[in-house]
Amino acid sequence: MNEEAQNHKLISSANLENDLRPGSLREKAAKLRSEAQDLFRHARESGECPDKAQIQAINSHAKRLEVEALRLEDKSPRLVGESYHEEYRNRPDQFQGQSMISRIEDGLYLSGYDVLQHETILRSCSISHILSICQFYLPSAEQQKTYTCKAIPALDTGDQNLLQYFSECVKFIDEARSANGRLLIHCHAGQSRSVTILAAYLMQRDRIGVRSALDKIRAIREVQPNDNFMNQLRLFKDCDYQLTEDNVQYRRWKFETMHKDKSAQSGTSTSEEQVPQHPDYQENDLDTKYTQIRCKKCRYVLASEKHIIAHEPKVTTEQPESQQSSLLPASCAHFFLEPIRWMKSELDKGQVDGRFTCPSARCGAKIGSYAWQGTTCSCRRWVLPALCIQRSKVDEMKSKTPAKVEPARKS
């Protein structure tokens, strides 16, 4: 059977009703890829193991349709085979921005998973390192022996935290380039996840914004990270390309992410990486400027001023002279806080709401409460989510230095 007959057999097997228009083929391919994503998402949500063979078969079928669409437009050889590789070696720029591989700059390439199925392309580009940003669709066992590989288990979804991997990915890219290697970054389609990681690298290296980084990539390849990843890139820029627990914006974002997880799932435990450690004890010194929140009964340090989530009171009252230096407005009866390490045992119960007690072994006094669905402050302002301690149960004390909160250690 000749090449064209084989190709038409593949297309007819997709039940295309003889509609071989390029636009129609791409639309059907997109539906197949969406179907594969839905299968994976459904398996994930139901706690089952995804049928990798079925998902890969669907995506392979979608790829055949995309190849046929290119053939009909006379922009690609009839099948992705040796003829494609010969064309690529002779005219690599002709293929920039299409569905296979894109050279963003010297030694830095971007693609979808399909390139991994064609060793000739990898050899033509002298690829030495492969960074995979996907749950499945990874380099083969043989490729992992040939290339220096790193895999990031990420999905192209609205709730995927890709930000947590920025630092290690940037480090891997830097190491590859320092060794004069040629790096390929890929996800499934080379449109969203891999682009987000590449953009983060360019942003940190060149000290540029999200739009500038994406414009540089879009000059070579048509890409579009999802809205969730775009927001994470903006946060990365706002944090000056450094994601540390000292950065208030980053901590607040993690808190909001935790809230979404809690709202979507019940009975789940709190990640160690989401909850900062308990603040260090500091000596009391009423003449110094840093404020700590301590249990009124046992003096245990519960938080510092940087862990307080401020809100604008809906109803204001005049601050008594005795509370002029307080961190709270007079109309507020609660300190609303970020998650802190000592809260973890309570939050791990997976409840929508509950109460906080002093973590000191010799105390245990009731000091506050939490409600992931939110609660109303005494100033009538709605706060969502709400992790709070009662103003009447604690004292505000001064310290020589601010209380330190470090990232929680992995168990």
Question: What is the CATH classification number for the domain harbouring 323?
Answer: 2.170.150
- Looking at the structure, tell me whether residues 311 and 171 fall in a common domain: no
The yes-or-no answer on residue 187 being catalytic is: yes
What is residue 287's predicted lDDT score, i.e. its pLDDT? 33
- Dihedral (C-alpha) 139, 141, 145, 151: value to the nearest 10 degrees? 40
| Range(s) of the domain holding residue 71 | 1-79
Of 200, 395, 194, 384, nearest in space to 293 by CA: 395
Domain count, the chain: 3
Q: 5 vs 308, which has greater pLDDT? A: 308
What's the longest Cα–Cα distance across the chain? 92
Same domain flag for 53 and 95:
no
For residue 262, is it within any domain?
no
Indicate whether 255 belongs to any domain.
no
Pairing of strands 290-295, 148-152: unpaired
Task: Determine the pLDDT at residue 2.
Answer: 47
- More confident call, 181 vs 32: 181
Give me the catalytic one of 125, 134, 187, 379: 187
Domain assignment of residue 260, yes or no: no
Distances (CA, A) of 41 to 60, 158, 226, 397: 18, 12, 16, 49
Write the pLDDT tens digit of every residue in 333-385: 888 888 888 888 888 887 888 999 999 888 989 999 998 878 888 888 888 78
pLDDT of residue 382: 84
* 63 half-sphere exposure, CB direction, 13 A CA radius: 17
Residues 219, 351: one domain?
A: no
Residue 170 lies in a domain: yes
Summarize the confidence of residues 29-49 as an average pLDDT: 76
Cα–Cα nearest to 411, from 271, 226, 245: 271
Judgement on whether residues 235 and 95 belong to the same structural domain of the protein: yes
**SS3 per residue for the chain:** CCHHHHHHHHHHCCCCCCCCCHHHHHHHHHHHHHHHHHHHHHHHHCCCCCCHHHHHHHHHHHHHHHHHHHHHCCCCCCCCCHHHHHHHHHCHHHHCCCCCEEEEECCEEEECHHHHHCHHHHHHCCCCEEEEECCCCCCCHHHHHHCEEEEECCCCCCCCCCHHHHHHHHHHHHHHHHCCCCEEEECCCCCCHHHHHHHHHHHHHHCCCHHHHHHHHHCCCCCCCCHHHHHHHHHHHHCCCCCCCCCHHHHHHHHHHHHHHHHHCCCCCCCHHHCCCCCCCCCECCCCCEEEEEECCCCCEEEEHHHECCCCCCCCCCCCHHHCCCCCCCCCCEEEECCCHHHHHHHCCCCCEEEEECCCCCCCCEEEEEECCCEECCCCCEECCEEEEEHHHEEEEEECCCCCCCCCCCC
Residue 87 and residue 7 in one domain: no
Q: What is the pLDDT of residue 22?
A: 67
Q: Kindly report the CATH number assigned to the domain that includes residue 230.
A: 3.90.190.10
Q: Are residues 61 and 140 in the same domain?
A: no
Average of pLDDT values for 131-145?
A: 88
Higher pLDDT, 59 or 190: 190
**pLDDT tens per residue across span 97-133:** 344 788 899 999 999 988 888 888 888 889 999 999 9
> 407 falls in which pLDDT band (50, 70, 90)?
very low
Whether 359 and 346 have beta carbons less than 8 Å apart is answered as no
At 153 the pLDDT is: 92
124 and 231 both lie in a single domain? yes
Residue 16 has pLDDT above 60, yes or no: no
Better-scored residue on pLDDT, 205 or 309: 205
End residue of a domain, out of 27, 54, 79: 79
Q: Taking a C-beta distance cutoff of 8 angstroms, is the pair 55, 40 a contact? A: yes
| pTM for this entry | 0.56
Domain-embedded: residue 259: no
Q: What is the b/e burial string over 271-283, where b = at least 16 CB atoms within 10 angstroms of the residue's CB?
A: beebbbbbbeebe
User: 227-238 and 210-218 are packed helices; what angle lies between their axes, rounded to 10 degrees?
Assistant: 130
C-alpha Rg value of the chain to the nearest Å = 27
Task: Answer yes or no: is 376 within a domain.
Answer: yes
In this prediction, residue 92 carries a pLDDT of 45
Residue 147 and residue 66 share a domain: no
More confident: 327 or 344? 344
Of 79, 105, 136, which closes a domain?
79
Instruction: Check pLDDT > 70 for residue 283.
Output: no
Q: Say whether both 215 and 106 belong to one domain.
A: yes
Joined tokens for residue 161:
């935290």
Q: What's the sign of the alpha-carbon dihedral 118, 119, 124, 125?
A: positive
Same domain (yes/no): 237, 135: yes
Q: If pLDDT is split at 50, 70 and 90, which confidence band does 221 have?
A: confident
Is residue 30 in a domain?
A: yes
Assess whether 231 and 328 both reside in one domain: no
Best CA proximity match to 293, nearest among 407, 409, 392, 384: 392
Residue type, 137: Y
**Do 96 and 56 reside in the same domain of the chain?**
no
- Which of 53, 79, 105 is where one domain is finished? 79
Q: Is residue 190 part of a domain?
A: yes
